[in-house]
């Protein structure tokens, strides 16, 4: 008999195959992950809204179809968490905000529609900072999400609960969204793989696209939805389900001309790679530099790539990025919603909404973005990939926006996010792979950025690095402490 722990440590591809072949039932799998969730939630607070009855009903439907000899879908019976910024019909979508405490969408997000059609079993909504305007995992409504590798530390954000849940084995993968790194940030902090495909690969709606919801009609020119998983192949499997155009998203692009799972296979010998350890200006924790540099060496010494240290040449564009966020935000609608309730909300979000933004701020931001895009494509004319740290620091204490000092340099609480948001500004594909651990046992991520629309190369490089330095069997000590 397969134990709960064996089930919860299986990857999505294996689970789907076992369910399809009747070695496991979808209901068995669902009950195993729900029991694990119940044990872990008091420690990590990954799920703001568990949905056990929704999950059980979906699992029974999968089992019925399989018993009848029908196709239950490529993800038939596989459990998944859905980030609480992503709309779920008839399931609360609070987005970490008191302004949406009672909000229940009347439609699913496109990716949720596609996951359901593929037979995935939704086990709950995963926790986020308020409206996703943060790289950390706390909000005014729910308990702070904690990192399974050290529960005194953040799991990152804004896909905070998705990262914690997958790292703890509550589900083999989860949906995240990424407007400035929010798939890659918690994936890096939690020792996972996460990928933001090229802008438009995964269609978004209603998030960023529906003016009825001021809190979520934001980040339109920056936002992506993507998978977070323990293996590269599982993320590719999810992309094969959720990617593709939709008329509800004017940024969506035609379907890829390659198979996502097959794209993870093959060697990368001969690729030309640029390695930037700091973009030329960012403060980076010495342990992160060490771990990432050792991971980069694998590409040259083991995988046969040519690696050069190089920087694209822009100055720190953090201010430009936040102006783009503000320009994408329904400032009028959100200011109206929060009036008189500012004291209930996250201070950093209130500050952003109340900032006296000008037309010149937004115009300058668009021009700044154009400059970065042009610098990047010229830079990448010489390189197939760019490697960087995913984050400038390892996981840090909960309930803060970020460390005020990195490698002895004082800075802003968002400086640790220096590497991720660039790919949102340019729309390029970007992934994070687990690079290794600090001497304190904390995960560190390596970011892989590909050329415009070259998702296939990013997936192939991710798969090659995983094969050279596998990570999926590393589990947080918390699980052993809890007998999991």
Q: What confidence tens digit (pLDDT) does each residue in 42-71 have?
A: 999 999 999 999 999 999 999 999 999 999
Is 464 a residue whose pLDDT tops 80? yes
250-300 pLDDT, tens digit each: 999 999 999 999 999 999 999 999 999 999 999 999 999 999 999 999 999
**208 — pLDDT class (breaks 50, 70, 90):** confident
State residue 396's pLDDT score.
98
The pLDDT of 163-192, averaged and rounded, is 98
Cα dihedral across residues 454, 455, 456, 460: positive or negative: positive
Residue 297 CA to residue 303 CA, distance in Å, equals 9
State residue 1's pLDDT score.
86
- Kindly name the residue from 25, 134, 155, 158 that is annotated as catalytic: 158
State residue 166's pLDDT score.
98
Q: Which residues contact 362 (CB under 8 A, 6 or more apart)?
A: 323, 326, 327
State residue 321's pLDDT score.
98
Residue 103 CA to residue 191 CA, distance in Å, equals 32
Residue 403 CA to residue 397 CA, distance in Å, equals 8
State residue 218's pLDDT score.
84
Residue 380 CA to residue 465 CA, distance in Å, equals 20
Look up the pTM and report it.
0.98
**211 — pLDDT class (breaks 50, 70, 90):** confident
Q: Tokens in use for 281?
A: 């200006």
213-252 pLDDT, tens digit each: 887 778 999 999 999 999 999 999 999 999 999 999 999 9
Tokens 């959100």 sit on residue: 334
CATH number for the domain harbouring residue 336: 3.90.1300.10
3 state SS for the chain: CCCHHHHHCCCHHHHHHHHHCCCCCHHHHHHHHHHHHHHHHHHHCCEEEECHHHHHHHHHHHHHHHHCCCCCCCCCCCEEEEECCCCCCCCCCCCCCHHHCCCCCCCCCHHHHHHHHCCCEEEEEECCCHHHCCCCCCCCCCCCCCECCECCECCCCCCHHHHHHHHCCCCCEEEEEECCCCCHHHHHHCCCEEEECCCCCECCCCCCCCCCCCCCCCCCCCCEEEEEECCHHHHHHHHHHHCECCCCCCCCCCCCCCCCCHHHCCCCCCCEEEECCCCCCCCCCHHHHHHHHHHHHHHHHCCCCEEEECCCCCCCCHHHHHHHHHHHCCHHHHHHHHCCCHHHCCHHHHHHHHCCCCHHHHHHHHHHHHHHHHHHHHHHCCCCEEEEECCCCCCCECCCCCCCEECCEECCCCHHHCCCHHHHHHCCCEEEEEEEECCCCCEEEEEEEECCCCHHHHHHHHHHHHHHCCCCCCCCHHHHHCCC
- In the annotation, is 158 catalytic? yes
Residue 225 CA to residue 467 CA, distance in Å, equals 26
Domain tally, the chain: 1
- In the annotation, is 405 catalytic? no
Q: Tokens in use for 166?
A: 């997958």
Mean pLDDT of the chain: 97
In the chain, what percentage of residues exceed pLDDT 70? 100
Number of C-alpha atoms within 13 angstroms, CB side, residue 405? Answer: 3
Task: Find the range with the poorest average confidence among 21-25, 209-213, 350-354.
Answer: 209-213
| Domain membership of residue 224 as a residue range | 4-481
State residue 335's pLDDT score.
97
- Kindly name the residue from 83, 116, 125, 196 that is annotated as catalytic: 83
In the chain, what percentage of residues exceed pLDDT 90? 98
State residue 209's pLDDT score.
84
**158 — pLDDT class (breaks 50, 70, 90):** very high
- Kindly name the residue from 27, 182, 346, 462 that is annotated as catalytic: 182
The pLDDT of 359-384, averaged and rounded, is 98
């Amino acid at each position: 008999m397969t134990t709960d722990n064996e089930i919860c440590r299986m990857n999505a591809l294996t689970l789907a195959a076992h369910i399809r072949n009747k070695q496991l039932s979808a209901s068995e799998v669902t009950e195993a992950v729900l029991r694990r969730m119940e044990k872990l939630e008091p420690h990590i607070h990954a799920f703001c809204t568990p949905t056990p009855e929704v999950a059980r009903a979906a699992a029974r439907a999968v089992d019925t179809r399989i018993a009848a000899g029908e196709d239950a879908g490529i993800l038939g019976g596989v459990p998944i968490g859905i980030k609480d910024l992503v709309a779920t019909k008839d399931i609360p979508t609070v987005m970490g905000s008191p302004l949406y405490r009672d909000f229940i969408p009347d439609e699913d997000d496109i990716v949720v529609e596609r996951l359901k059609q593929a037979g995935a079993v939704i086990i709950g909504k995963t926790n986020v900072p308020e409206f996703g305007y943060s790289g950390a995992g706390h909000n005014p409504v729910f308990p702070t999400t904690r990192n399974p590798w050290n529960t005194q530390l953040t799991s990152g954000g804004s896909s905070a609960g998705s990262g914690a849940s997958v790292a703890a084995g509550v589900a083999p993968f989860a949906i995240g969204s990424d407007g400035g790194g929010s798939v890659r940030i918690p994936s890096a902090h939690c020792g996972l793989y996460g990928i933001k495909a090229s802008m438009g690969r995964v269609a978004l709606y209603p998030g960023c696209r529906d003016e009825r919801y001021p809190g979520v009609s934001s980040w339109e020119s920056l936002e992506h939805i993507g998978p977070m998983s323990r293996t590269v192949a599982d993320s590719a499997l999810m992309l094969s389900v959720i990617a593709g155009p939709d008329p509800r998203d004017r940024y969506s692009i035609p379907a890829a001309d390659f198979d996502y799972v097959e794209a993870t296979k093959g060697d990368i010998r001969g690729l030309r790679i640029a390695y930037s350890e700091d973009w030329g200006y960012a403060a980076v924790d010495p342990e992160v530099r060490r771990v990432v540099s050792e991971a980069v060496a694998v590409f040259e010494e083991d995988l046969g790539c040519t690696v050069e240290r190089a920087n694209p040449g822009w100055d720190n564009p953090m201010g430009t990025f936040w102006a783009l966020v503000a320009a994408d935000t329904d400032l009028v609608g959100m200011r109206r919603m929060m009036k008189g309730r500012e004291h209930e909300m996250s201070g950093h979000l209130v500050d952003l909404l109340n900032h006296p933004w000008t037309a010149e701020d937004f115009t300058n931001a668009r021009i700044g973005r154009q400059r970065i895009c042009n610098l990047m494509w010229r830079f990448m004319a010489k390189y197939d990939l760019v490697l960087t740290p995913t984050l400038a620091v390892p996981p840090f204490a909960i309930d803060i926006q970020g460390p005020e000092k990195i490698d002895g340099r004082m800075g802003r609480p968002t400086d640790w996010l220096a590497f991720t948001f660039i790919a949102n500004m340019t729309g390029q594909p970007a992934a994070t792979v687990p690079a290794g651990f600090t001497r304190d046992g904390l995960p560190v991520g390596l970011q892989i950025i590909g050329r415009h629309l070259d998702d296939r190369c990013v997936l192939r490089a991710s798969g090659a690095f995983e094969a050279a330095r596998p990570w999926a069997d590393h589990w947080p000590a918390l699980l052993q402490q809890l007998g999991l």
